[in-house]
Amino acid sequence: MKRIITILASALILSCLTIGSAFAAEVVQGKCLGYDTAAATIEVEEYDINFSKDHPYGHSTGIRSLFNVKEAKIGITPETGDVLRIAYDVKGSQKMALKVMNVSKQDLSKK
Amino acid sequence: MKKRTLGIFATVMAFNTLLAKAAWAGGKKASDLVVVADTRLINSEIMRYFADLYNTNILLFAVWAVVLTAVMGCVLGWLMDKVMERTGIDLHSRKIVEH
């Protein structure tokens, strides 16, 4: 009986931990073009991952994306021109932001 | 006299605490510190899993941190046990030699 409980508890813990693989979000980084608090949207000009000394956040790809931030956790309030990193999920035609990090005002690499 | 001194001391301490709280409350509300892990740069599957978990489900990430910390503690304990065993110190049995 004790053995069965141990096996069941282990299976439960393992399934709880492996269920995490179902959680996957896309990440984008880019320049903030506008933050509409009324509509809860952020428009971003996406950057690539070719980092250099002159372009520490990457180069602009020219792609503009609109994110719905209604349910997102937002750090330092984004302003136009700030570099943002957004974790998001695609739901239908909308990009639903989960977390918004203000990279230029909260650069961890500077510390 | 002693009672009076204690009373004055308690009043001063309470005033000090209130003053500090008032000073903290007077400042602008600090914004949350939000960090997004950049998964665009990660190639390793396991690192990607943890980075995704950090971005999407912080609670499960915390559970993983607790589990891994416990596992690492067990491994370190087992390793130290082996090291102590090799030095000749017997930690498995307790003999009282004084009696």
Q: What is the pLDDT of residue A30?
A: 95
Q: What is the pLDDT of residue B7?
A: 83
Claim: this prediction has a pTM higher than 0.80? no
Q: Quick check: is A89 in a domain? A: yes
| pLDDT tier, A66 (very low <50, low <70, confident <90, very high otherwise) | very high
Q: Do A21 and B40 touch (CB under 8 A)?
A: no
* Cβ neighbours around A57 below 10 Å, total: 19
Q: What are the residues whose beta carbons fall under 8 Å from the beta carbon of A85, sequence distance 6 or more?
A: A27, A28, A29, A100, A101, A103, B36, B38
Q: Quick check: is A105 in a domain? A: yes
CATH number at residue A89: 2.40.50.320
For tokens 């399934």, the residue is A15
Q: What is the pLDDT of residue B24?
A: 67
ipTM, two decimals, is 0.77
Q: Quick check: is A16 in a domain? A: no
Q: Quick check: is A64 in a domain? A: yes
Q: What is the pLDDT of residue A110?
A: 57
B40 chain-A contacts, CB cut-off 8 A = 27, 29, 49
A84/A71 Cα distance (integer angstroms): 17
* Domain encompassing residue A30: 25-109
Q: Quick check: is A7 in a domain? A: no
Q: Work out how many domains chain A is built from and give that number.
A: 1
pLDDT at position A20 over 60: no
User: CA of A100, closest CA in chain B: separation in Å?
Assistant: 7
Q: Quick check: is A6 in a domain? A: no
| pLDDT tier, B47 (very low <50, low <70, confident <90, very high otherwise) | very high
For tokens 């998001």, the residue is A88
Q: Do B36 and A86 touch (CB under 8 A)?
A: yes
Q: Quick check: is A14 in a domain? A: no
Q: Helix, strand, or coil here: A111?
A: coil
Q: Quick check: is A8 in a domain? A: no
